[in-house]
Amino acid sequence: MKKYLSIILSLLLLLFSPHVDARKRKHHHRKVKARTHIKVAPAPPRIVDGICGIDVSHYQGTIDWEKVTHYENNPIRFVYVKATEGATIKDECYSRNVMLAKEKGFLVGSYHFFSTKSSAEEQFENFKQTVNKDTQDLIPVVDIEECKYWTADTLHKNLQIFLNEVEALYGKKPVLYTMPSFYNRYLVDRYKDYKIFIAQYGDGNPVLPDGNNWHIWQYTRKGRIDGIRGNVDVNAINPECDHNEILLNGLPDTNKSTAKKEQAPNPVPITAS
Task: Say if residue 30 is in the same domain as residue 119.
Answer: no
| Contact assessment for residue 257 and residue 68, using Cβ atoms and an 8 Å cutoff | no
Query: Does residue 45 sit within a domain?
Result: no
Q: What is the pLDDT of residue 87?
A: 98
Cα separation of 180 and 151, whole Å?
19
List the catalytic residue out of 55, 85, 165, 233.
Answer: 55
| Contact assessment for residue 54 and residue 75, using Cβ atoms and an 8 Å cutoff | no
Task: Say if residue 121 is in the same domain as residue 210.
Answer: yes
- What are the tens digits of pLDDT across the range 89-125? 999 999 999 999 999 999 999 999 999 999 999 999 9
Contacts of 180 (CB under 8 A, 6+ apart): 198, 199, 200, 206
> What is the helix (H) or strand (E) element at residue 113, kind and residue range?
strand 107-113
Task: Say if residue 190 is in the same domain as residue 63.
Answer: yes
Task: Say if residue 71 is in the same domain as residue 193.
Answer: yes
Task: Say if residue 98 is in the same domain as residue 138.
Answer: yes
Task: Say if residue 7 is in the same domain as residue 72.
Answer: no
Task: Say if residue 136 is in the same domain as residue 33.
Answer: no
Task: For residue 49, indicate whether it is catalytic.
Answer: no
Q: What is the pLDDT of residue 180?
A: 96
Task: Say if residue 58 is in the same domain as residue 22.
Answer: no
Q: Which residues of 204-226 are buried (b: 16+ CB within 10 A; e: fewer)?
A: eebebeeebebbbbbbbeebebe
Q: What is the 3-state secondary structure (H, E, C) of 63-82?
A: CCHHHCCEECCEEEEEEEEE
Query: Does residue 273 sit within a domain?
Result: no
Please tell me the pTM assigned to this model.
0.77
Task: Say if residue 95 is in the same domain as residue 229.
Answer: yes
Residues of the chain with confidence (pLDDT) below 70: 1-48, 250-273
Q: What is the pLDDT of residue 7?
A: 53
Query: Does residue 268 sit within a domain?
Result: no
List the catalytic residue out of 125, 145, 167, 245.
Answer: 145
Task: Say if residue 29 is in the same domain as residue 117.
Answer: no
Cα separation of 206 and 237, whole Å?
12
Query: Does residue 272 sit within a domain?
Result: no
Q: How many domains does the chain have?
A: 2
Query: Does residue 84 sit within a domain?
Result: yes
Domain of residue 22: give its range.
Answer: 1-40
Q: What is the pLDDT of residue 208?
A: 95
- What are the tens digits of pLDDT across the range 201-230? 987 889 999 999 999 999 999 999 999 999
Cα separation of 190 and 97, whole Å?
33
Task: For residue 145, indicate whether it is catalytic.
Answer: yes
Task: Say if residue 75 is in the same domain as residue 185.
Answer: yes
Query: Does residue 65 sit within a domain?
Result: yes
Cα separation of 17 and 130, whole Å?
89
